[in-house]
């Protein structure tokens, strides 16, 4: 049966029985699709219904979606009263008139009805907010100030979240009474309404400390992003019940690989070591690669309090001066960490790889292992570079590291040949003092050792994904979909306008097309510009039960297997491997996870984005803090984005700031969308991505996490023959036609920087651990 036909049949049945919950097994039995291949078809059709919004998957199975016919999305507020609802990564947002917002706030999850359909493909429909399903700011964080003119109110809160700074937050006396200047957590008891559209009432539930205390700035962001940062006592108590050493009874049924010369290679400050590697050359000319991962699932059992908290966190969060772990530290840094010279339980992926980089044989199994050395990237880089002193120190391991270096080159060339796209943007390491204040920013360098471990982890992840995809059983994958045809077409046109046409059909874009383009522009002034715009054309990587592959890596199969200490999807993958090993691959075995892998993928993807947003906000905060004493100083920078309201400039140390268009006073500048450039109307100077500039620091606001620049020598900018079509009344010019302005606003055109996307996984760097985003 065709997927669409099957999906329609299943959706119709669920709709007719909308109050009931059905497992995939129930539905497959009803259709008499009972063999393993037919069962997988039913699961795929159900997951498609969930994606389309016709059904929902819950813990016990599938149910008809009562919101079918409506659209669920995230509300994005505009200061002028109207708003937009984002409901799809590719389609234009809903436009919501001021009278139809239901006083929704930024970030609220809302249910929207359609008032007018999309008039053109590039303009979204007009909608009406019918219901606020979830408030983004049920809990808020801010600095308390005593006193308020409002009756029965004890004070006000100054919010640390930029998106809510325009709201007045009154504090009622029903909760705690904090001291003036304390940072507090408050529960909202009254949201904005028609009578009080800019007013919130809240009750203080927790005090965190005083605003100027060390670390309080980061803690405010952590709380405002709703990142769980303290383990419940039950979880800590249960974690203490886990032994600190592997017992003899736990060896049963596992392969003993303690004599193999496994080593771990990580950053010098890494405490949670979850992968060990070993390699040797085989007699037939192939290579043996062993990737051995901490068996976290042995200790974190499904349904336990520790498991529930790990799911709630989704991932460890790596901040400037701290790590918020997914698991209690006696697990993540203790029994599950592959510390040197101690016995540990592992999940092993052993691969035989030919000289072309193909995995010709593999085995997945549980094991007992022992790390023979705790290596750092720095030490291994020195060994591979020929440092005789470090080679002497690790003389017994040097031959293996040389074999690893050879194998890495083979794997790297294989990925390059198939079209993997390399985005090697600079990555900052923010140095802080004992009080947490930013004192320096350094660029991290990725040497051969970092790239080598990247190659080995990628190989293991691909091998595991291919193994289970070919078995045709429900599984959890890390996917990166092919770019949308319209977005790809826009990027192709942009690249062509810069004199670098992409060879190929944008409706059938492949990684090799984009890789070839990057090779063509290497060293060209347009390289950074094209690289940046290419990245923005990509979709987000995410977790899903659908094995659609990984576009950025050029991989047909991909999952996350290598970091179960810090990523819940990896923990899930380990459980799946064990489950199928013990119970086979039949329909009954498949039923165990089939109905809720989609939900796990959706939730863990969302929590990954929460972690990334938190990390970026903390980085922005600390970078602004570092720049506070540098007002009026000059720096060299590069245009990172050109938008209609100004230029975002990145300094060599990765600090980003804005040159607002009001500070471009040498001419009247207009935005040319096709070239992503600001162009002067009279003097025809052009500013676009990748262009080098000299800037002076104009203003720094740490609380708002912003740095403002002004150009030092705008007259040094190149001129262009490009002429922007005259718009008589530009938004920042003199008297733009109001209807034209409103038309652009209704199209959902961005008034801010385009949001940074989730990692594509082709660039694996991270300020705490270069393997975090494999």
Cα dihedral value 540, 546, 549, 550, nearest 10: 20
Q: Residue 320: left if φ>0, alpha if ψ -120 to 50, beta else—which one?
A: alpha
Residue 206 lies in a domain: yes
Question: Can you give the pLDDT at residue 119?
Answer: 85
Backbone dihedral angles phi then psi of residue 409, each to the nearest 5 degrees = -60, -40
Q: Residues 42, 28: contact at Cβ < 8 Å?
A: yes
Tokens of 383: 């060994």
Across 192-239, the runs of DSSP E, i.e. the strands, are 199-210
DSSP state of 426: -
3-state secondary structure of 5: helix
Closest CA to 327 of 128, 597, 571: 571
Closest CA to 425 of 760, 696, 707, 769: 760
Average pLDDT of each block of 10 consecutive residues along the chain (774 residues)? 85 88 90 86 87 80 83 88 88 93 94 90 89 92 86 88 81 94 95 91 96 93 93 97 95 96 95 96 98 98 97 96 95 96 98 98 98 97 96 97 98 95 83 95 92 98 98 96 89 87 91 91 81 87 95 96 98 98 94 91 95 95 97 95 92 95 95 90 93 96 94 95 64 36 38 43 42 41
Query: Which of 102, 134, 166 is the C-terminal boundary of a domain?
Result: 134
Closest CA to 368 of 281, 450, 276: 276
Tokens of 480: 């990166």
Backbone dihedral angles phi then psi of residue 744, each to the nearest 5 degrees = -65, -40
Question: Can you give the pLDDT at residue 726?
Answer: 57
Q: Residues 132, 102: contact at Cβ < 8 Å?
A: yes
Buried residues in 3-33 as b, exposed as e (16+ CB within 10 A): eeebbebbbeebeeeeeebbebbbbbeebeb
DSSP state of 68: B
Q: Residue 216: left if φ>0, alpha if ψ -120 to 50, beta else—which one?
A: alpha
Residue 319 lies in a domain: yes
Same domain for 56 and 75, yes or no, is: no
Across 385-539, the runs of DSSP E, i.e. the strands, are 427-432, 438-444, 477-479
Nearest-angstrom CA–CA distance, 481 and 622:
33
Q: For position 94, which CATH number holds?
A: 2.40.50.140
Buried residues in 709-746 as b, exposed as e (16+ CB within 10 A): bbbeebeebeebeeebeebeebbbeeeeeeeeeeeebb
Same domain for 307 and 440, yes or no, is: yes
- Please report which residue ranges of 366-421 form alpha helices under DSSP H: 377-385, 388-393, 398-418
Residue 349 lies in a domain: yes
Question: Can you give the pLDDT at residue 524?
Answer: 80
Distances (CA, A) of 47 to 11, 602, 671, 704: 11, 12, 42, 41
Same domain for 143 and 240, yes or no, is: no
Tokens of 274: 């979850």
Distances (CA, A) of 674 to 495, 497, 726: 9, 8, 15
HEC secondary structure over 267-293:
CCCCCCCCEEEEEEECCCCCEEEEEEE
Nearest-angstrom CA–CA distance, 48 and 44:
6
Question: Can you give the pLDDT at residue 683?
Answer: 95
Query: Which of 87, 107, 134 is the C-terminal boundary of a domain?
Result: 134
Closest CA to 558 of 573, 538, 568: 573
Question: Can you give the pLDDT at residue 125?
Answer: 93
Nearest-angstrom CA–CA distance, 312 and 610:
12
Same domain for 299 and 168, yes or no, is: no
How many structural domains comprise the chain? Answer: 5
Q: Residues 364, 254: contact at Cβ < 8 Å?
A: no
Q: Nearest 5 degrees, angle CA 694-CA 698-CA 704?
A: 120
Domain that residue 734 falls in: 631-746
Distances (CA, A) of 505 to 86, 492, 499, 539: 28, 9, 17, 18
Q: Residues 178, 207: contact at Cβ < 8 Å?
A: yes
Q: For position 200, which CATH number holds?
A: 2.40.50.700
Nearest-angstrom CA–CA distance, 391 and 380:
9
Same domain for 246 and 335, yes or no, is: yes
Residue 538 lies in a domain: no
Question: Can you give the pLDDT at residue 566?
Answer: 97
**Helix H or strand E segment including 456:** helix 448-471
Query: Which of 213, 244, 279 is the C-terminal boundary of a domain?
Result: 213
Backbone dihedral angles phi then psi of residue 691, each to the nearest 5 degrees = -80, 135
Give Cβ neighbours of residue 192 (< 8 Å, ≥ 6 apart). 103, 105, 167, 198, 199, 200
Question: Can you give the pLDDT at residue 750?
Answer: 36
Question: Can you give the pLDDT at residue 474?
Answer: 96
Cβ neighbours, 10 Å, residue 676: 20
Distances (CA, A) of 519 to 374, 421, 500, 692, 697: 37, 10, 11, 21, 35
Residue 509 lies in a domain: no
Across 359-511, the runs of DSSP E, i.e. the strands, are 359-370, 374-376, 427-432, 438-444, 477-479
Same domain for 335 and 193, yes or no, is: no
**Helix H or strand E segment including 175:** none
Q: Nearest 5 degrees, angle CA 608-CA 611-CA 613?
A: 110
- Considering only the C-alpha atoms of the chain, give the largest distance between any 2 of them, rounded to a whole number of Å: 84
Same domain for 87 and 54, yes or no, is: no
The model carries a pTM of 0.85
Residue 407 lies in a domain: yes
Same domain for 392 and 407, yes or no, is: yes
Cβ neighbours, 10 Å, residue 369: 28
Question: Can you give the pLDDT at residue 761?
Answer: 65
Same domain for 126 and 143, yes or no, is: no
Residue 170 lies in a domain: yes
Nearest-angstrom CA–CA distance, 537 and 492:
10
Buried residues in 117-139 as b, exposed as e (16+ CB within 10 A): eeeeeeebbbbbbeebeeebbeb
Q: Residues 276, 263: contact at Cβ < 8 Å?
A: yes
Sort strands 83-86 and 94-96 into parallel, antiparallel or unpaired: antiparallel
Residue 610 lies in a domain: no
3-state secondary structure of 520: helix
Same domain for 247 and 206, yes or no, is: no
Same domain for 276 and 397, yes or no, is: yes
Same domain for 244 and 386, yes or no, is: yes
Q: What is the Cβ-side half-sphere exposure of residue 398, based on CA atoms within 13 angstroms?
A: 15
Q: What is the Cβ-side half-sphere exposure of residue 521, based on CA atoms within 13 angstroms?
A: 22
């Amino acid at each position: 049966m065709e997927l669409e036909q099957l999906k329609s049949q299943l959706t119709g049945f669920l709709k007719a029985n909308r109050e009931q919950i059905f497992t995939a097994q129930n539905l497959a039995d009803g259709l008499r699709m009972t063999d393993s291949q037919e069962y997988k078809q039913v699961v795929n059709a159900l997951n498609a219904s969930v994606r389309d919004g016709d059904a929902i998957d819950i813990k016990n199975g599938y149910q008809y979606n009562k919101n079918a016919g409506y659209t669920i999305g995230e509300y994005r507020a505009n200061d002028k009263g109207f708003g937009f609802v984002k409901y799809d990564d590719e389609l234009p947002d809903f436009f919501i008139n001021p009278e139809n917002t239901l006083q929704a706030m930024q970030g609220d999850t809302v249910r929207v009805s359609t008032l007018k359909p999309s008039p053109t493909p590039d303009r979204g429909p007009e909608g009406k907010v019918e219901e606020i399903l979830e408030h983004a700011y049920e809990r808020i964080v801010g600095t308390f100030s005593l006193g308020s003119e409002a009756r029965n109110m004890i004070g006000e809160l100054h919010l640390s979240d930029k998106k809510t700074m325009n709201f007045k937050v009154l504090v009622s006396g029903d909760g705690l009474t904090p001291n003036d200047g304390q940072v507090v957590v408050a529960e909202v008891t009254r949201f904005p309404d028609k009578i009080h559209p800019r007013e919130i009432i809240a009750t203080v539930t927790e005090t965190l400390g005083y605003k100027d205390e060390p670390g309080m700035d980061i803690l405010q962001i952590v709380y405002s992003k709703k990142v769980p940062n303290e383990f419940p006592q039950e979880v800590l108590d249960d974690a203490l019940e886990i032994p600190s050493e592997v017992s003899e009874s736990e060896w049963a049924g596992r392969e003993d690989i303690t004599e193999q010369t496994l080593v771990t290679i990580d950053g010098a400050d890494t405490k949670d070591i979850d992968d060990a590697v070993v390699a040797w050359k085989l007699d037939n000319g192939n290579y043996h690669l062993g990737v051995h991962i901490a068996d976290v699932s042995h200790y974190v059992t499904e349904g336990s309090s520790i498991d529930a908290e790990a799911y709630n966190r989704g991932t460890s969060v790596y901040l400037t001066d701290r790590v918020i772990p997914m698991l209690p530290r006696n697990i993540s840094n203790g029994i599950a960490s592959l510390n040197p010279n101690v016995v540990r339980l592992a999940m092993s992926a052993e691969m035989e790889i030919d000289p072309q980089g193909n995995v010709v044989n593999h085995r997945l199994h549980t094991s007992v292992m022992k790390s023979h050395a705790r290596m750092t990237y720095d030490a291994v880089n020195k060994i591979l570079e020929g440092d005789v002193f470090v080679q002497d120190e690790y003389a017994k391991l040097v031959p293996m590291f040389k074999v690893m270096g050879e194998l890495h080159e083979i794997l790297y060339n294989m990925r390059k040949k198939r079209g993997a796209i390399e985005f090697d943007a600079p990555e900052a390491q923010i140095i802080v003092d004992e009080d947490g204040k930013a004192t320096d920013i350094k660029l991290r360098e990725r040497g051969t050792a970092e790239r080598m471990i990247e190659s080995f982890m990628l190989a293991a992840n691909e091998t595991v994904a291919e193994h289970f995809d070919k078995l045709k059983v429900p599984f959890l994958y890390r996917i990166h979909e092919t770019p949308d045809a319209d977005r790809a077409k826009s990027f192709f046109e942009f690249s062509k306008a810069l004199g670098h046409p992409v060879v190929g059909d944008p409706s059938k874009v492949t990684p090799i097309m984009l890789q070839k383009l990057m090779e063509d522009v290497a060293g060209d002034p347009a390289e950074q510009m094209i690289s940046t715009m290419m990245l923005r054309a990509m979709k987000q990587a995410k977790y899903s039960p659908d094995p659609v592959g990984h576009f950025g890596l050029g991989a047909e199969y991909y999952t996350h297997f290598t970091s179960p200490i810090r990523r819940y999807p990896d923990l899930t993958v380990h459980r799946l491997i064990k489950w199928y090993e013990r119970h086979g691959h039949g329909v009954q075995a498949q039923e165990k996870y089939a109905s809720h892998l989609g939900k796990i993928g959706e939730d863990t993807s969302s929590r990954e984005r929460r972690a990334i947003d938190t990390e970026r906000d903390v980085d922005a905060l600390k970078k602004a803090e570092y720049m506070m004493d540098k007002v009026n100083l000059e720096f060299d920078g590069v245009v990172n984005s050109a938008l209609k309201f100004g230029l975002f400039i990145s300094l060599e140390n990765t600090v980003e700031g804005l040159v607002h268009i009001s500070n471009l006073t040498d001419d009247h500048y207009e935005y040319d969308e096709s070239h992503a450039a600001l162009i002067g109307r009279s003097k025809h100077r052009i500013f676009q991505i990748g262009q080098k500039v000299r800037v002076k620091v104009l203003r720094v606001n740490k609380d708002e996490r912003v740095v403002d620049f002004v150009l030092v020598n705008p007259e040094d900018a190149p001129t262009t023959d490009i002429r922007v079509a005259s718009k008589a009344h530009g938004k920042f010019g003199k008297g733009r036609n109001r209807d034209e302005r409103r038309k652009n606003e209704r199209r959902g055109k961005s008034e801010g920087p385009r949001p940074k996307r989730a990692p594509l996984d082709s660039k694996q760097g991270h300020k705490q651990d270069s393997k975090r985003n494999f």
